[in-house]
Structure 1
């Protein structure tokens, strides 16, 4: 838990720096994205859920459950949606999507926790980069339909 608290503090400091940069350069965005947000989402999910992270950039999944299910983890600070990529290795068994909070005292939102196929079947056209965007509102609706038995269990201390 100490590591989680320190991570929250550092992320808050990072966002304070982003805010200062945006004040210095009006009209420019310095939003953390890409690998940084992905890694923050992965370590947050590993703290909240009973999963073990695999090596970074493992094709098709980011973590494994104790019973061997593969888990893809997506994270965003945004309010619109996330990109879901298709891989040559197929899709993971489960998907966790988090909306991360910039504030250390606010909880991250679990937007979706359930079977990957349930989301994959709802994706629209894949773009040239191999990704399709799905809205957070759509993911919330899908999440409401996931039975508890199909969710990745949370950690007791989280």
Structure 2
């Protein structure tokens, strides 16, 4: 599923793109990955899927779906897969969004239970571990439609492409 970024985020990304153009000869990328891209991912996921976001508390749960499922949101602006850390609480559901910052679009790469993705990781580790983009696409292909979060239909214009 692809979507168009909302205007307020588009403004931020366009400013980032102007920086990249201005400093192209220095090969600076001004990557937005990290907390900023993560926050953008949560905001976009909330709009796309009607999530009620939770206050930041480090539990591994970013919000709750309209049906009550706890949700973890991962996002990137690069071709790397999502990074996970050891947390005490895992979410029922995982959303992984990839942003194409050059074209002001995004794609939901994974929309399904978090457990099958976590099973791809070692049982214990220190720091962060990444699941590859290819692994995420393979696991997403195994998710039954009934397990996916449905598209939110807000009263205002949707972010999703028609």
Query: TM class, shorter-chain normalised?
Result: 0.7 to 0.9
Tell whether the 8 Å contact from 1:125 to 1:132 is kept in structure 2 after alignment.
no
1:92 equivalent in structure 2: 91
| 1:12-91 map, 5 Å | 12-23=14-25, 26-88=26-88, 90-91=89-90
Deviation at 1:56, TM superposition (A): 2.6
* 2:131 match: secondary structure: strand
* 1:84 match: secondary structure: strand
| TM-score, length of structure 1 as denominator length | 0.84
Tell whether the 8 Å contact from 1:73 to 1:97 is kept in structure 2 after alignment.
yes
Name the CA distance, whole Å, in 2 between partners of 1:147 and 1:137: 18
Name the CA distance, whole Å, in 2 between partners of 1:7 and 1:72: 20
Name the CA distance, whole Å, in 2 between partners of 1:28 and 1:102: 15
* Corresponding residue pairs, total: 151
Deviation at 1:11, TM superposition (A): 1.7
Q: Does 1:117 align with 2:115?
A: yes
> Gaps (5+ residues) in structure 1?
none
Name the CA distance, whole Å, in 2 between partners of 1:58 and 1:125: 19
- Structure 1 counterpart of 2:106, from 71, 89, 108: 108
Q: Using CA pairs below 8 Å that are at least 6 residues apart, which structure has the higher relative contact order?
A: 2
Deviation at 1:22, TM superposition (A): 4.6
Name the CA distance, whole Å, in 2 between partners of 1:15 and 1:52: 30
Name the CA distance, whole Å, in 1 between partners of 2:11 and 2:141: 31
> Gaps (5+ residues) in structure 2?
none
2:6 equivalent in structure 1: 4
| TM-score, length of structure 2 as denominator length | 0.82
* 1:108 match: secondary structure: strand
